[in-house]
Amino acid sequence: MQRVVISGGPASGKTSLINSLSEKGYSTFPEVARKVIKQQLNLGTNKIPWDDVTEFSKLVLKEQINDFKRASERISFFDRGIPDIIGYMNHGNQMLFSELKTASSYFQYNYVFMLPPWEDIYENDNERREDFKSSCLIFNELEKAYKSLNYSTIIVPKTSILERSEFILAHINE
């Protein structure tokens, strides 16, 4: 079984790429952070990244571990992986909590594809409040987080969704 992460800064095309792979019949897991933000906004809590990033990150970690364990297909694609939390925490100069460190070492992915910042497709929304400059800084922290855990990251070129999915599938020999 292969677990494949699609990561990158906000608004770099991850969700569109994941949706494309899903349409091709692959097992995919959507971005957990967006789901948690929506849930917490609906609940009216402060467990959102701009109010309490640590408590928010603990909720995200729990869901990402659940997704990791639920992956049962030969190949599963994840819109962000557990080490993304480290990148975001580092970007916000936050202390890493012990459960995150343990999970990052224990739950391992086979491939990590990084989508670089792409200003032409960048958009904000209710769950994505960072500006493009922040997206670039977050991308750098995400890449550092994966490399600090000994992952070899693969940069996906800025091309069409179809070409990006073909690029990834070619790298994992699918």
The CATH number of residue 152's host domain is 3.40.50.300
Cα separations in angstroms, 101 against 96, 150, 155: 7, 14, 24
The answer to whether the Cα torsion of 70, 74, 77, 83 is positive or negative is positive
**Tokens of residue 120, six digits:** 């032409």
Contacts of 162 (CB under 8 A, 6+ apart): 20
Number of structural domains found in the chain: 1
Share of the chain above pLDDT 90, in %: 72
Q: Are 13 and 115 in contact (CB under 8 A)?
A: yes
Q: Are 145 and 102 in contact (CB under 8 A)?
A: no
Domain span at residue 35?
2-171
Specify the pTM: 0.91
100-148 residue pLDDT tens: 999 999 999 999 999 998 776 656 555 555 676 777 898 999 999 999 9
What is the overall mean pLDDT for the chain? 90
Q: Are 81 and 151 in contact (CB under 8 A)?
A: no
56-91 residue pLDDT tens: 999 999 999 999 999 988 999 999 999 999 998 998
Please report the pLDDT score of residue 117 as a whole number.
Answer: 84
**What is the distance between the terminal CA atoms of the chain, rounded to a whole angstrom?**
13
| CA 154 – CA 54 distance, rounded (Å) | 28
